[in-house]
Structures are given as structure tokens and as C-alpha cells.
Amino acid sequence: MRPTRRQFLRTTGSSLALGGSLAFLSQLRPVSAQEAKLDPDRLRVDDGIEPTVRLLEDTPREKLIEDVAHRLKNGLSYRELLAALLLAGVRNVQPRPQVGFKFHAVLVINSAHLASLASPDSDRWLPIFWAIDRFKSAQNETMKTSGWRMGKVDEAKIPAAREARKAFGDAMEAWDEESADAAAAAVARYCGRDEAFELFARYGCRDWRDIGHKAIYVSNAFRTLDCIGWHHAEPVLRSLAYALMKYDGQNPATADHDADRPGRRNRELLKEIKPTWQDGKSSRDATTHLLSTFRSADDADAPKAVVEALNDGVGIESVWDAILSASGELLMRRPGIVSLHSVTSSNALRYAYAAAGDRDTRLLLLLQNAAFLPLFRGAIGNHAQSGKQVDTFEPAEGVVGDGAVDDIFAEVNHDRTAAARIALAYLDQTHAAEELIHAARRLVFLKGNDAHDYKFSSAVLEDYYNVSLDWRNRFLATSLFYLPGSGQPDNALVVGIRAALSA
């Protein structure tokens, strides 16, 4: 009896990748879930973090993994390594001229940490090793192209404590880079974490320049600071402020750029939202209606549709279902780097919405996310506008059985639409998303070759739990249009780590 196509793919794909091919990490002690969660109060500046930062900064790339592995074998902790990695990144990788490209070395640190958090104890080192190698590549590129390194803040220009918040807002509104640098240092020194987050979240979402990377950097930076401690905030916030100041052409404070119009409109639109906006009821029909609207509305009409829904009593969770599902639908329609960022920026804005406390900040994040969706839709091209829809594509026919997860990731390398349909059938029939999520993470560890693999997988696998039960299976199935398949070769870093750990 000849094997079916699915059986053939399962046996010829790297199904071992879903199980035991990370065994080489057993040479390092496993990281417990408690250690990976981190306690910021236990990691202070005087704990001696600087030598580890300098290790990352000064060791040549070809020797760094081996040297870090040696330090880990001799007691270097996960906490120290994560903190040192973020500090080395913001000190040595320039977040301009694009908040992306080589700067993904910094943007991806929180994604790598989230991947570690969600992994078995034995696997947790690999995402951090990957992020270390990515940092070293970006540091080398920065040195080659610009020689940039974060300088010392001008102490004479740092505002007094009572003026820190206003000074930062004034500098950001004026797009005054020098003043923003000094004010960001003051915010780190004199404002609490929550107050600082409100400030940066509002400016991180104010424009769509660099396809959402500004908002991504704000959320990822604060999430990592939550792990390693606020006492490390000053260089991080200075880097953030520098990144948020990126623009081309005339100063936006004295110009009317397309990129700034949605933010200006939405700050006015906030005034139209009723005080009862949090009292609405969940509605699948409302989510479906918003999804339909997002397929054709422009960046002015999409936020207006959200305001109408909230004022009509639609629950906020149904609005987020529509936004997150629409971001996944764009990836279905044209898989690629631009549509991927519709997912990762929505993840960052959804996190910021949940983390912010101020009413206007939260609603601005929501409306800006709605405005960004048409901008992403336009960026992927009109020829990609028709076809697949997240609320109507059909699961694979028949009953999925044992080995379905292997089937899904083997099919990815041949037909992503078929893989997504099998995934939807699997999720609907088994209600066992954790097995698929675990397999996806392991394949990213082994096969991922780009920061986007980590950024995307951490975002979509996290937001699976932020989407309501009615929509989460379809949302997760859209991830098969980008996640790596089991038939891809292991990445070069995995090969290098194996060699380093055996040295």
C-alpha cells in the first residue's frame, strides 16, 4: 500500500525537529521557569553586570558563543545574561536611520525572552544564544557603517525632577532630538515606570513610520525592563527617544506629513467616545462586521468604525478580535515581511493598551492600530486584496488524528494554505493548541534564520490567548503562512552552538 502524501511528508520532513534535536543543550544546566521569569529586585547595578556587558561588546563574534557557554558553565545566570544583552544592544546598535533592519538585534530581545519563558527548561538557552549572535552581527554592521555608539548624556541639559514629564512632552512635540535625549534621562531618573510608559506609549504609536517598529520597540523595551529592573532604564529610554524621533524631510512639528495625519485625527476622535466604552458586550457579529470594514476602509474611516462600535455597545474584546484577526488575514493574503508587521505591531499595541492606565492613552493605541491596518493593506499591494478571508476559509476535510502536528509542519514547505487548513481542523477538533504552539517554537529555534522569525512567533503565539474563543483557532491558523516548516535545514547558529558546547 503506497503512503499518502501526508504520510510521505511526515516521514521525509524533519519530524525529529519537533522532539529531540535540541539534545546538545543538555551540556548546560537547564533554566527553571522560576529563574526565567526573573525578579528585577534581585539584579542591581552593583551586582557586577558591567563585565558581562563588556564580554558581549568586546568578544569577536566567532568566539562569543563559545565564551558565553563557558561562562554559563561556570555560573553566569540567565538574569545577568539577559540584562547584559539589552544594555549592550542599546549602547552599541544605532536605532536609525531605520527603526528596524540591524536594530532588530535590540527589538528581538524581548521576543527571545518570551520564547525562553514558554519553553521547556532544557530549551531555554537557545533563544538567548540566537539573540546574542544577532546583537554581535548588528554591532559589527554599526561599526562598519557609522561607528555609532551611545554617548554620555549632557548633564547640564537634564531637566529638574518636577519638569521631567513636561520637558519630555515638549521635546517630543517639537521633534527636538537633543532636548528629548536629556528629557528621557530625566524621565528614567525621576518618573516611575508606569508614568514613563504612558509617555512613551503615546509617542510610540503616533505615526506609522518604519511600519510599526516604533510601537514595537516601546512595548518590547519596557517588557524587558520589567524583567531586568528599572535601574537599567536610562540608556534604554534614551535609545527609545532617539528611535521615536526618526522622520524624513521637514520637521513634522512644522509640516503636514501623511504619516502624522492619523495620529492627529485620532486624538480628536477620542473626544467622541462615550464614557461607557468599557461596558459593551461581546459580539461575534460585530467582529465580523469590523473585519469587513477593515478590508476596504482607509486610515480615517477604520478608526471611525471602531468608535461607532464602542458607542453602539460593542465590547472592547470584540474590537480587539477584529483588529488581531485582520492583521492575520493580511498575512494570509500576501505572506511576507510587510504583512508580518501587521501582526507584530498589533501585538505591541495590544500589549501597550493592556499595560497603560490612562483612558486617552489606551484609546489612542486602539484607534492608531485600526488606522495602521489600512496602511499595511495598501503597502502589500492591491493585487493581494482579494481571496483568503480569516472568517471564511475552510478547515481540511476529515478527522485529524495522531501525528497531525507533524503533518502540519511538514506541509508548510509545500503548501501553506493546506497547512493552515489542517491546523484549523486540528485546533477545532482536538482543542489542543499547546502541542502545535510548542512545536512551532521548537522549529523557530532550529530553523529560524531571521529576527522576524522570533518576533512573529512570539507575537502570534502570545496573542492566541488574547483572542476570544470564537476567533483564536482561526487566528492561530493564519500563522502557518509564515512559521517555518520541518523540512527546512537547521540554521547555521544551531550548528555553531553544538560545536561550541562540545568544545
Q: What is the pLDDT along the chain (503 residues), one digit of tens a residue?
A: 334 544 434 443 433 334 345 555 566 666 666 666 655 444 344 457 899 999 999 999 999 988 998 898 888 988 899 999 999 999 999 998 877 678 888 988 988 888 888 877 767 788 888 899 999 999 999 999 999 999 999 999 999 999 999 999 999 999 999 999 999 999 999 999 999 999 999 999 999 999 999 999 999 999 999 988 899 999 999 999 999 999 999 999 999 999 999 999 999 999 999 999 999 999 999 999 999 999 999 999 999 999 999 999 999 999 999 999 999 999 999 999 999 999 999 999 999 999 999 999 999 999 999 999 999 999 998 655 557 899 999 999 998 877 899 999 999 999 999 999 999 999 999 989 999 999 999 899 888 888 899 999 999 999 999 999 999 999 999 999 999 999 998 887 776 776 666 66
Q: What is the DSSP letter of 159?
A: P
- The model carries a pTM of 0.90
Residue found under cell 534564520: 449
Residue 117 has a pLDDT of 82
For residues 139 and 131, is the Cβ–Cβ distance under 8 A?
no
Residue 43 has a pLDDT of 38
For residues 159 and 227, is the Cβ–Cβ distance under 8 A?
no
For residues 443 and 327, is the Cβ–Cβ distance under 8 A?
no
For residues 238 and 181, is the Cβ–Cβ distance under 8 A?
yes
284-294 helix and 301-311 helix, angle to the nearest 10 degrees: 170
For residues 446 and 491, is the Cβ–Cβ distance under 8 A?
yes
Residue 11 has a pLDDT of 41
- The single-letter code of the amino acid at 147 is G
Q: Report the candidate in 192, 55, 105 with the shortest Cα–Cα distance to residue 454.
A: 105
Distance CA 318, CA 307 (A): 13
For residues 369 and 214, is the Cβ–Cβ distance under 8 A?
no
Q: CA separation (Å) from 422 to 151, 335, 387, 389, 396?
A: 52, 18, 19, 16, 5
For residues 34 and 42, is the Cβ–Cβ distance under 8 A?
no
Residue 474 has a pLDDT of 98
Distance CA 258, CA 309 (A): 26
Distance of CA 483 to the CA centre of its chain: 14
Residue 36 has a pLDDT of 62
Residue found under cell 525572552: 113
Q: Give kind and range of the element (H or E) at residue 206.
A: none
Distance of CA 364 to the CA centre of its chain: 19
Q: Report the candidate in 448, 411, 372, 406 with the shortest Cα–Cα distance to residue 131.
A: 448
Return the SS3 of 320: helix
Distance CA 297, CA 313 (A): 21
List the beta bridge partners of residue 281. Answer: 314
97 upstream amide cis, omega within 30 of 0: yes
Sign for the CA dihedral angle at 346, 350, 353, 355 comes to: negative
